Amino acid sequence: MNKGSFVERNIRVLFPLPAVVFVIVMMLFPVLYTLFLSFTNWNLTSGMPLRFSWFRSYARVLGEPRFLDAIGRTFSFTALAVAAETILGLALALLLNREFKGKAVMKLILLLPLVATPVAIGIVWNLFFDPTIGLANFVLSLLGMQPSAWVSSPQTVIPSLVLVDIWQWTPMITLIVLAGLAALSPEPYESARVDGASSFQIFSKITLPMIAPTLLTAMILRSVDALKTFDIIYAMTGGGPGYASETMNVMAFKYSFEYFRMGQSSVILVFLFLLVLFLSMVIMRLRARFEL
């Protein structure tokens, strides 16, 4: 009896094997290695060999006010950015879901922030926010308002960075929601119009509940990405002025590549990973409720 070749007999194992190896090497190993380092006192400048310190690195990081402030900034940046991007993205998607002249051009313009490189975005927006020659303060002066320090002030740096994030990532929310709107069945809308429902009633009772899973999926993607934001913040402020825009990711980078305290940097990244995981699970639970 011909049992076939080795490949044919083990096709169910061999077929997904490259994907499994990729996940282990590129995803699982870095997470486990970071967790391993978080229990050590590895410091590249001390000249001492790597030793286990177990939870002493965790206690040292948690006892540092700078770390607690970084958690607060990370959450405030994420909450402000994702909330604004969700509202604006939904509004733009509803607008683009209608037929009008120049719709294709408007979609193309929406894609431009997504394809721009983060460093280039940081340089351009720093020029835009420049207190003396920047266009932002010029516009404020035309409106009869006082100039702002934007990214140069501890009070305005986070809102200014949120504004840049909104400009860059609102189009992503728009495109995801727009795809969800395109997949909706027209039958409920026809029935609602026959019954004399208003535009607001159609939106609140039909459109919003039907696209809620899609909208929450977009929020998951953006929330995870916003929590990990590094490039724009580092390119524009480097975490400054002082520590005013230092999020957990920026702080972990500084601990790794400026202070060379790899063990404590890994602790920060472990906490960041847990925060991202927790937030993702919360939003996924909300999404599951909307699908019931």
pLDDT value of residue 4? 60
Mean pLDDT across the chain? 88
Based on the number of CB atoms within 10 Å of its own CB, is 46 exposed (0-12), middle (13-18) or buried (19 or more)?
exposed
Residue 17 has pLDDT above 90, yes or no: no
CB burial of residue 63 (10 Å; 0-12, 13-18, 19+):
exposed
From residue 177, give the alpha-carbon distance in Å to each of 3, 97, 181, 288. Answer: 50, 10, 6, 17
Could you give the residue ranges of the DSSP H alpha helices within 15-155?
Answer: 17-23, 29-38, 56-62, 65-96, 103-115, 118-129, 135-142
The answer on pLDDT for 72 being more than 50 is yes
pTM metric for this prediction:
0.88
CB–CB of 87/215 below 8 Å?
no
Q: Tell the residue number behind the tokens 């990370």, with chain if given.
A: 74
pLDDT, position 200:
86
Tell me the domain boundaries of the chain.
64-291
The C-alpha atoms of residue 141 and residue 160 are separated, in whole angstroms, by 18
Strand partners, 43: 261
| C-alpha–C-alpha distance, residues 267 and 139, integer Å | 43
Q: What is the pLDDT of residue 202?
A: 87
For the segment 98-108, the average pLDDT, to the nearest whole number, is 83
- Token pair 């940097």 is found at 265
pLDDT of 211 higher than 60: yes
For 175-184, how does the pLDDT look when each residue is reduced to its tens digit (9 = 90+)? 999 999 988 8
User: Is CATH 1.10.3720.10 the classification given to domain 64-291?
Assistant: yes
pLDDT at 290: 67
CB 149 within 8 A of CB 136: no
Mean pLDDT value across residues 117-121:
89
Q: Report the alpha-carbon distance of residue 210 to residue 183 in Å, rounded.
A: 10
Print burial letters for 150-189: b (CB count within 10 Å at least 16), e (below 16).
Answer: bbbeeebbbebbbbbbbebbbbbbbbbbbebbeeeeeebe
| pLDDT for 46 beyond 90 | no
Buried b (16+ CB within 10 A) or exposed e, 69-100: ebbebbbebbebbbebbbebbbebbbebeeee
